[in-house]
Every structure is written in structure tokens, then in C-alpha cells.
Chain A
Amino acid sequence: MSQRIDHHPVLGSLGDRKQLPFYYNGSVYTAYEGETIAGALLAAGVRTLRVHEEKGTPRGIYCNIGHCYECRVHVDGVPTVRACMTLVQEGMQVNAGSILPTPLKKGGHGA
């Protein structure tokens, strides 16, 4: 179910907006023109935007104004794009990223 606030008691109603299909982790979603990646996905009930690069734990938005980088996603192959600051474009490929190897985790010198 969409969580969009089409009608607001003070801000009024949103008019007709153009629909923009885009992809998140290979599945198709619909954004409206002028929506951020974070907004469009949350409207569709998607809270997890990426996984932690080391632990794989889920992450969503935190600050929603570009400071915290918690919502960083891959967009059309470009890593570290902030989902909260980026407007959806038609056909955009958004990806949550994956766990990265940590070969030096235990320290150097064969530790």
C-alpha cells in the first residue's frame, strides 16, 4: 500500500504527476516525478536501502538531508549515491550493494 500523502490538511493535495518506473535490486517500482529514491521506496514500503558493507546488517535513511550517508546506494553502477538527495529518473537501476571483503580485519603480519 502506498504511503504517499496525496492529501494534506494544510499543504493541500498533490496534482497529477508523471509516473516513473525504476528498479531496486532488480524489482520494478514506481516513483512520481520529483520524488527522491528514498521517498519513492519508502512509499512502496521499502525501508532497507542498503546493507552494511562489513556486517551485512540492513540500513535505511537516517538524516534524509544528505549529511549522514546512511542511505548510500548504487545508482546505474555508481556507488555511494545518497538516496535521500537523488531524484528518481525513469529506468534508473538502484542497488543496495553487498558485503565487501575485509582481508585486513584481523590485522597484518599474519595475525
Chain B
Amino acid sequence: MIDLLIIGAGPAGLSAAIASAKQGLAVRVVDEFYRPGGRLLGQLHEEPDGVWWNGLDEAARLTQEAIELGVEIRCGVSVFHLTHSQDGWIVSTTVGEMIAPLLLIATGASEAAVPVPGWTLPGVMSIGAAQVMTNVQRVRVGQRGVVIGINILSVAISRELQLAGITVDRMILPPSTTVSGTAWQPQAVMQSLLRVAHLAPSLLIRMGSKMMGNSWMQKLAVSLYPSNGFSMWDIPIQLRTAAVEIVGTSQVEGVRIARVAADGSPIAGTEQVIPADFVCIAGGLSPLAELAAIAGCPFAYVPSLGGHVPLHNESMRTPVPGLYVAGNISGIESAKVAMAQGTVAGLSIAKARGKLTNEQPLLDAIQQVKIVRQNATIQFHPNIVAGRALVGQMTAEWIAN
């Protein structure tokens, strides 16, 4: 009999497994991917201090630690249903039912698609797909491609593609549609990039030149208007160009693009087709929360956290007895935040199981989440703290009523 079943072997799920197993809980982790690590597996970027964040190593470290603590990790297992009974959670999986008194859903995020005509052609994929293919499967997604959608995630992954010898011809905006949010508006996209300008060519940071960093920011601000945009790591980022259509017969052959005005509207007569053998679509991330919905958990719609998130408090408890969440399902943030949240969830669950004799580690872990968030290099959204506070307040009200 296990005490805790964790759905998702990513940074949050593995960290929770480690924290709870350390308190003596019997823990099983399931994941539908063929190896543990979740989205950590594809992550590879250079931090401002010049140290590489290698998700493969991080995932291996977490997996090893969990296994040494006796955690059972079962990959290739998909979960398709949950119900609650007197015995606890009954979880329906592709290898049969699993029963556990306590359940942690750490399913992470999914990528939003962007409707661009031609997006079903082979060779078109999400930006995250290209990341996994390149860094995990170690196969080039093509020779020369176009990234549609300019955000912190797509810029970081474009750099990863470039490291693997793949040419990103340019990054451009998606077409304006009713579901594109502000991703097609040059001004809004530029503002979101300026928030991460301190990350920009970490080469500059290594050289320790504040002057250069400043001039890069200035260049970014004024170069919203030049036709070629600006380059990051020699990848042209074109805020005044949008995708119109992906063209090809049996696979991607190119992208029809058009210049857009400062307000994002296409400029007539500026269309051209540029050659490409692959296209990445970057629509941003939203919490992958279906299982929490099936479990009967109430939700809040909080744009700064990425959309609909299951209600939860600082201890990562939801209002549903025995149900916990951690990581990107609770709001889109970095892997480091997910790991810190996983530790909170693991300790919180140990407490619920009567195995946490001293509450101090839990309180420290909750504090640690805030510290990690504060120090995060990549802030996905400026209003995360306010969004988190809102969810905490809604959760408290829900439980009180």
C-alpha cells in the first residue's frame, strides 16, 4: 500500500517524491513519457553567471535521489480518470487502477497552439517539440526554419536549436486572430521582451559590460521599427513581420510573411515567401489541469499564472481532501520554482499523513518558494506574485465556506 501517488515525474513531482519519502512515506510516481524528468529534460540555457542549466543532469539527479529513497517511478503510464472513495483516490491508468489515500497532480503545462494556415503540414511543430527533439532525442528538426511567436520561451529554445547546428532564419509574430491574445501586437511583445533584457546575450554579461547591456536595451527599444528587427545570438527577431501562411505540399517548404504596422495590422503589398524546411509555433504555456478538474477541484482563471489553475494554498493543498498540486499546473513559472513547490507539497502531504513531527521544514520550504521566485532569472509574467495571492485568497474563502 502506498501513501502517496504522484502524477508527473517532472521537477515538481520528483521533488515532492523526495521530500515525502524522506519523511517515511511510501511513494509512487507515474508519468506517460518513457523517462522521468518532464520538461526539465529539454532545458538547456546559460545563466547570467555563465553556468549552464542542463535539465538532463538536473532530471538525472532528482531521479537518482528519489530512487535511492525508495520511490517507485513508473514511466509509460498514462492516467485517464480519477475518482475518490473511502479507500482514497482510485486512479485509472493504462496499466490498471492504482489506489492511494493522497494524490499529487504535477502534470505541468501544455503549449497553446496558434492558428496559422498550413499548420498541419509535416515539419510544423510546437517550439517545445523542437526542444525535446533536439536536446532529448538528439535529432535536428531541420536545416533552416522560422519561429512563429516571440516570447521568452521561444527565444530561449531558438538559442538551443542554434547550439545544435540548426539555423533559425528569423522569429516573427503570429497572425492576428481572436485567440492570439496580444502575441501579434509589436508593442506588447517588445514590452514583454524588455522585461527579460537583462538575460540578453549572456556573453555581454560575462564581459561585465554594463554599457553594452544598456546599449542593447536602447537598440531594442528603438529597433521596433527597422525592417530587419534586431538580433539576439544572431537570430533576427522581427517585431514588424507576421506569418500569413505556412506553405508546402507534403511538408513545409516556406512561410508567407507580411510586414505589419506598429499596431500589428498587415501592410498591403509586402507579402513574400521565405524558404524553410521547418516551422516552430510558440503560443505560450498554460497549466495542464484536466485531471484536477476531473477530481472535482474548483478553479480560478488567472492570466498571470497562465490561465485556469486549480485552487490551492501555500501548502499546495487544494480544497479537495487528499488532493495536492505542484509545479506548472498551479501557475506557469520556472523549473526551479516547480522544484521548490514540489518540496512544499511533499512535506505538506507528509504532515497530512501524520509523518511530519516538526512543522519547521514545511514553513521553511514555503519561504523557499518565495525566495526562488524572487531570484528567478526568467519571470514568465510580471504579476505572478499578485496572481498567487489571489489564488491563495480564493482558496481560503472556498474552504471557509
Docked-complex contact B129 and A63, CB < 8 angstroms: yes
CA distance A6 to B137 in the complex (A): 10
Docked-complex contact A62 and B129, CB < 8 angstroms: yes
CA distance A42 to B142 in the complex (A): 9
Residues of A within 8 A of B163 (CB): 8-10
Residues of A within 8 A of B110 (CB): 63, 67
Q: Is A60 an interface residue (CB 8 A)?
A: yes
CA distance A95 to B194 in the complex (A): 47
Docked-complex contact B250 and A43, CB < 8 angstroms: no
Most buried by A among B44, B54, B126: B126
Docked-complex contact A36 and B32, CB < 8 angstroms: no
Residues of B within 8 A of A11 (CB): 44, 54, 56, 135, 138
Residues of A within 8 A of B132 (CB): 64-65, 84
CA distance A85 to B132 in the complex (A): 11
Q: How many residues of B contact A (CB 8 A)?
A: 38
Docked-complex contact B34 and A87, CB < 8 angstroms: yes
Docked-complex contact A63 and B34, CB < 8 angstroms: no
Residues of A within 8 A of B288 (CB): 67
Residues of A within 8 A of B76 (CB): 85
Docked-complex contact A59 and B120, CB < 8 angstroms: yes
Knowing A9-B163, A63-B111, A64-B129, the reply to whether A85 touches B138 (Cβ < 8 A) is: no
Q: Is B122 an interface residue (CB 8 A)?
A: yes
Q: What residue of chain B has the Cβ atom nearest to residue A66's Cβ?
A: B32
Docked-complex contact A42 and B141, CB < 8 angstroms: yes
Residues of A within 8 A of B39 (CB): 65
CA distance A70 to B281 in the complex (A): 15
What 6 A-B pairs have minimum CB-CB distances, sorted nearest first?
A60-B122, A64-B129, A39-B137, A47-B122, A3-B140, A5-B138
Q: Is B36 an interface residue (CB 8 A)?
A: no
Q: Is B213 an interface residue (CB 8 A)?
A: no
Knowing A61-B133, A64-B132, A65-B132, the reply to whether A39 touches B33 (Cβ < 8 A) is: no
- With contacts defined as CB atoms under 8 Å apart, how many contacts are there between chain A and chain B in the complex? 105
- Neighbour of A35 across the interface among B33, B120, B121, B137, CB < 8 A: B137
**Interface on B for A, CB 8 Å cutoff?**
32-34, 39, 44, 52, 54, 56, 76, 78, 110-111, 113, 120-126, 128-130, 132-135, 137-141, 163-165, 250-251, 288
Docked-complex contact A5 and B164, CB < 8 angstroms: yes
Residues of A within 8 A of B140 (CB): 3-5
Docked-complex contact A60 and B251, CB < 8 angstroms: yes
Q: What residue of chain B has the Cβ atom nearest to residue A8's Cβ?
A: B164
- Give residues of chain A (35-88) contacting chain B, Cβ–Cβ below 8 Å: 35-36, 38-39, 42-43, 47-49, 52, 57-68, 70, 84-87
Docked-complex contact B128 and A63, CB < 8 angstroms: yes
Knowing A42-B133, A47-B122, A87-B34, the reply to whether A58 touches B164 (Cβ < 8 A) is: no
Sample of 15 more A-B contacts, CB < 8 Å, known A4-B139, A6-B138, A85-B32: A5-B164, A8-B138, A8-B164, A35-B137, A39-B133, A39-B139, A42-B133, A42-B137, A48-B250, A48-B251, A60-B124, A62-B129, A65-B33, A66-B32, A67-B110
22 pairs from A and B in contact (CB 8 Å cutoff): A3-B140, A4-B140, A8-B163, A11-B135, A36-B137, A42-B133, A47-B122, A47-B123, A58-B122, A58-B250, A59-B122, A60-B251, A61-B125, A62-B125, A62-B129, A63-B129, A64-B128, A64-B132, A64-B137, A65-B128, A67-B110, A85-B76
Residues of A within 8 A of B52 (CB): 10
CA distance A61 to B125 in the complex (A): 6
Q: Is A14 an interface residue (CB 8 A)?
A: yes
User: How many Å from the CB of A52 to the closest CB on chain B?
Assistant: 8
Residues of B within 8 A of A6 (CB): 138
CA distance A58 to B250 in the complex (A): 6
Knowing A8-B163, A47-B123, A87-B34, the reply to whether A65 touches B129 (Cβ < 8 A) is: yes
Residues of B within 8 A of A48 (CB): 122, 250-251
CA distance A6 to B140 in the complex (A): 10
User: How many Å from the CB of A1 to the closest CB on chain B?
Assistant: 10
